[in-house]
């Protein structure tokens, strides 16, 4: 149940690797993790992701028709690799999580192991995005680069306002509601005592919003410098790989310590919450995870 919550949390944090790459991951997740689709519908949508990504990139930069066609071609090849190679791995992680919940064998350490498995899968996916992103960024004209960063700056300012605008109390309230809502999607209605397990843990977590904004601004500065003043090819790819695949390498020691401490609190909370589930809640969570895993397995198998 909350392994998938953690999965979504990891993938949503790909905004740390830039909005262009985030568009790819977000659209992929819309297809893979949407509730209630049949395998056939999921396969149909998956086959359209390349077109959806090209369309979404129009929010950031106006591409020429040849750029659109080449981008679709490269994305199509990468998405086929993901379907055959990455989706079975993701399904296996979800199945392992379901069995852990089913047998009441989930511990903070097993949750952390699951987190690291998902991070490794994300890194693999992003490594496949790097060559595509390299080609796209180097194909942009000066006018397109200017348009890209003008739009990114505008969108980033909106994002920063969303994070820094609310008071600490408002952020806490929103965080509590979001966490409880996410949990209940898998367990059904939580008891007041179970909700307190969540809100109590969140209360103990440090608010890293300001540090996160500082980190994002530093990342965007590095990204803009790279794109506007591209070094020789191999160096460009190496620096782009650091930015897209390993953005956490740019965390300050203080921010990294806060993130790690919060993850420890989160894992303890999830383990406690899972131990408190009723038989009905546990069955619902297992069914949800198994359903996602089965859909991914069918999708990875290709056309029926």
- Nearest alpha-carbon partner for 61 in 128, 151, 136: 151
pLDDT tens track for 248-291: 899 999 999 999 999 999 999 999 999 999 999 999 999 999 99
* Three-class secondary structure of residue 193 per DSSP: helix
pLDDT tens track for 46-76: 777 788 888 888 888 999 999 999 999 999 9
pTM value surpassing 0.75:
yes
pLDDT for res 164: 61
- Please tell me the distance from the alpha carbon of residue 42 to that of residue 304, in angstroms, as a whole number: 12
φ and ψ of 242, to 5 deg: -60, -45
Give every CB contact of residue 5 below 8 A, 6+ residues apart in sequence.
Answer: 182, 183, 186, 270
pLDDT for res 100: 95
> In the predicted model, is pLDDT for residue 225 greater than 70?
yes
**Up-side HSE of residue 150: CA atoms within 13 Å toward CB?**
8
Residues recorded for the chain: 304
pLDDT for res 303: 60
pLDDT tens track for 163-197: 666 677 887 888 899 899 999 999 999 999 999 99
- Nearest alpha-carbon partner for 6 in 162, 95, 116: 116
């Amino acid at each position: 149940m909350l392994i998938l919550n953690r999965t979504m949390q990891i993938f949503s944090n790909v905004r740390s690797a830039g909005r262009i790459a985030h568009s790819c991951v977000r659209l992929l997740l819309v297809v893979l993790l949407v509730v209630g689709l049949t395998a056939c519908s999921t396969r149909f949508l998956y086959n359209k992701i390349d077109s959806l990504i090209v369309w979404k990139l129009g929010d950031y930069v106006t591409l020429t028709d040849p750029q659109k066609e080449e981008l679709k071609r490269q994305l199509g090849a990468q998405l086929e690799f993901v379907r055959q190679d990455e989706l079975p791995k993701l399904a296996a992680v979800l199945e392992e999580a379901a069995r852990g919940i089913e047998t009441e064998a989930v511990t903070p350490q097993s949750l952390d192991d699951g987190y690291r498995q998902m991070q490794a899968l994300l890194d693999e996916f992003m490594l496949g995005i790097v060559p595509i992103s390299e080609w796209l960024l180097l194909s942009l004209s000066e006018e397109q680069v200017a348009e890209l960063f003008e739009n990114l700056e505008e969108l980033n300012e909106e994002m920063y306002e969303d994070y820094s605008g609310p008071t600490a109390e408002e952020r806490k309230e929103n965080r509590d509601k979001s966490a409880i809502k996410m949990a209940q999607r898998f367990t059904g209605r939580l008891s007041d005592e179970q909700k307190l397990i969540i809100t109590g843990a969140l209360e103990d977590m440090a608010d890293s919003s300001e540090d996160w904004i500082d980190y994002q601004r530093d990342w965007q500065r590095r990204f803009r410098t790279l794109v506007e003043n591209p070094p020789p090819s191999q160096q460009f790819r190496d620096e782009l790989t650091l930015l897209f695949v390993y953005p956490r390498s740019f965390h300050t020691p203080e921010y990294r310590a806060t993130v790690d401490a919060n993850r420890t609190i989160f894992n303890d909370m999830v383990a406690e919450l899972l131990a408190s589930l009723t038989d009905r809640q546990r069955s619902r969570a297992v069914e949800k995870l198994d359903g996602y895993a089965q859909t991914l397995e069918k999708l990875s198998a290709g056309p029926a």
